[in-house]
Chain A
Amino acid sequence: MGVEMTEATGGIDFEDEESGVVKKFMFVNRKAPYGTIYALEALEVVLISAAFDQDVSLAFLDDGVYQIVKGQHTKAIDVKNFSPTYRALEGYDIEKLYVEKESLDQRGLTEADLLVDVQVMSSADMAKMMAEQDIVISF
């Protein structure tokens, strides 16, 4: 389960953690892993955000749900399998993982196909959840 993403921590400015402001940050993942780097680099941002004591959530919609599907084996494409990192997020106190039901349905997936505990919600509830945020960073 090791989180080997130490390169992402480079240059972090820890002095700025002290501001005391807590905002609602949502990271919206809509892209599949491996085909492009967006999912991996999104995860690196998520891990860094944990150091800032903000109210962080992740949303998975569209092909983003493929990021957290079980059974990823990447050895043969020689790309790091970063899917175990989603399970490690809990250790960073990032526990709000939201998945849009419609996106799962479209792809023939159910919650049982996902490798991490998530909250599955309707499109309408996802819209409400997004609207409540201060900052939405989408990938």
Chain B
Amino acid sequence: MLHIVNKSPFENQTLDSCLRVAGNADGAAILLTEDAVYAASKGNSNESKIKAVMGKVKIYALWPDVEARGMQDRVIEGIKMVDYGGFVDLVAEHSNCQSWL
């Protein structure tokens, strides 16, 4: 299942909720889009949480949103970048998706 998060982790607990529910789920992937891409930046206080689940679930970030926010040189190693086409592929490859609004 693909989980899509679009909130800054500094604004509310959406990322935490997503990680709590999906962070250990079989076959789960998490895509960070919009303001959630700040969670993908090195040295941010959520880095350890992200890294903790990376062995179990795949973490992606939407490159156009990363770049738009000036985070392109700070991305945590192991987070995979996708463009909008890659976003479409992720939705297609997983049996379903949920946006954590």
Q: B92 interface residue, CB < 8 Å from A?
A: no
**CB of A131 within 8 A of chain B?**
yes
A131 touches B24 (CB 8 A): no
Chain A, interface size: which category? 20 to 34
Of A38, A123, A134, which contacts B96 at CB under 8 A?
Answer: A134
Given contacts A127-B28, A131-B27, A131-B28, contact A30 B21 (CB under 8 A): no
**Does B52 sit at the interface, judged by CB under 8 A?**
no
Cross-chain contact B21 with A130 (CB below 8 angstroms): yes
Chain B residues with CB under 8 Å of A53's CB are none
Most buried by A among B1, B20, B24: B20
A135 to B101, CA, bound (A): 15
A95 within 8 A of B: no
Interface presence of A28 (CB below 8 A): yes
A123:B21 contact, CB within 8 angstroms: yes
Kindly report which residue of chain B lies nearest to residue A136, judged by CB atoms.
Answer: B98
Asked if A12 is at the interface of the complex by the 8 Å CB criterion, the answer is no
- C-alpha gap A128/B20 in the complex (Å): 13
Interface residues of A in 94-139 (CB under 8 A from B): 100, 102-103, 123-124, 126-128, 130-131, 133-136, 138-139
Q: Which chain A residue has the least Cβ–Cβ distance from B24?
A: A124
Residue of A nearest to B26 (CB): A131
Q: Which residues of B contact A (CB under 8 A)?
A: 1, 13-14, 17, 20-22, 24-28, 95-101
5 contacts between A and B (CB under 8 A): A30-B100, A126-B21, A130-B98, A131-B26, A138-B98
For the complex of A and B, list the 8 residue pairs with the smallest distance between their C-beta atoms, beginning with the closest: A127-B25, A136-B98, A131-B1, A123-B21, A127-B21, A123-B20, A138-B99, A138-B101
